[in-house]
Each structure stands twice: as C-alpha cells, then as structure tokens.
Amino acid sequence: MPSLTPLHETYCRWDTTPPNQADVLEGLAQLVTVNLLGVHDTIQLLHREILLRTLGFTQEQSNRILARPLVQKLFKQGYSFAQSYGQNILAPALRHLNFRFPALQHKTLSPAMHYMVGALNGVMGNYLFQHQNPLALPMVFYDHYGQRLQGDLAGRVVIMVHGLCMNHLTWSKNNFGGVGEKLLAQRDHNVMLYL
C-alpha cells in the first residue's frame, strides 16, 4: 500500500532543485487525491451560468433546477466518483510507475512537461508550494543552454523573465526568434540567464 505521507517516499523530494520526471508523477498523484474544496460549488456555478446565458433561463428558474434533489444527487455522485477514481486508481498507478521505473528520478523534464508544470504553477503555484507538492517550481536561473546556473558570473548579465504559466523555454528560438541569441551575439561577455 502506498505511504499516506508521500513526501517521505524515496522518489519524492521537496527542495530547490528543478523537478524530475518522478516528481511530476508524484505531484500529479497528490493532485488527484486532494479534496479540492470549492470544486463542487464552482461546477454548480458553471452550470448556473450555462442555464442563464446559453439556455436563457431566469435566475429563479436556474436556482430551482439546480436545487432539485436529483440534480444535487448527480453533482454529489459525480464529485465522489472523480475523487474515488483519483484516490483508488489514478494515484496508485502513477506511484507504481515511479516504483517500477526508478530511473525517472534522474530524467529531466521534456519540453512538453516543462510547459505543463509551468502552466500548473501559473494557475495554482501558491497551492502547490503551500502543500509541498513536488510540482512546485523553485525560482532558479538557467543558462543559455538550458542548464541550471552553476558558479560565478562575469560580464554583462541579461535576465530573461517569463510570464505567468510559462517557463524558461518560452524564450527559445521557436517562440521569440531567439531574442536571447541575438542579445548574446551583440556584445562580448554577455551572460544570458533565464528565470
């Protein structure tokens, strides 16, 4: 049986190093098992807006529909099913992958994983940090080659800071025509850092 305190597992760490592939699986396992209070209310709010805006119901009509016992029961069962599926099927499967493939601890994230983790941190980074989820990204600098900054700096330093829901790969040649490469080529002794 998986540990009830997953942060004590050997494949999961909480520190300032960028996450690896094992951290992503454990972080996702934690997310699907957490009881997100307010999700139930948010879903009902979305349904209310659909009834009001899309289907043209009045506020009173939509309140009556959503207050029906059958509708409330459907909401509750759907939420319980999703919670049960996450706790009993999805999370154990993700943790089993970490157990089965220990080499994932040493594999860096693929670009697609970087984008997914960046988006999750943009949307719920504070939550991830407060709950010590391994998906929480530390603020670290990467060099021009995508490696974590090591050692001292010399020369002119240019720091490229990405926006919300993005990551250091956002500044790559494909996205912005290699802004970093152009700045790097303009002067000798330029040091490009990507946050």
- Domain boundaries, given as residue ranges, for the chain: 6-109
On the 0-12 / 13-18 / 19+ scale of CB atoms within 10 A, 56 is exposed
**pLDDT tens figures, 66-109:** 889 998 898 888 888 888 888 899 899 999 998 999 999 899 88
Instruction: Report the alpha-carbon distance of residue 192 to residue 176 in Å, rounded.
Output: 15
DSSP 194: E
**pLDDT tens figures, 58-76:** 889 888 988 899 988 988 8
Greater confidence, 177 or 39? 39
- Please identify which residue in the block is written with the tokens 């948010």: 42
The reported pTM is 0.65
**Neighbouring-strand partners of residue 20:** 108
- Please identify which residue in the block is written with the tokens 């002794």: 189
Instruction: Report the alpha-carbon distance of residue 159 to residue 26 in Å, rounded.
Output: 31
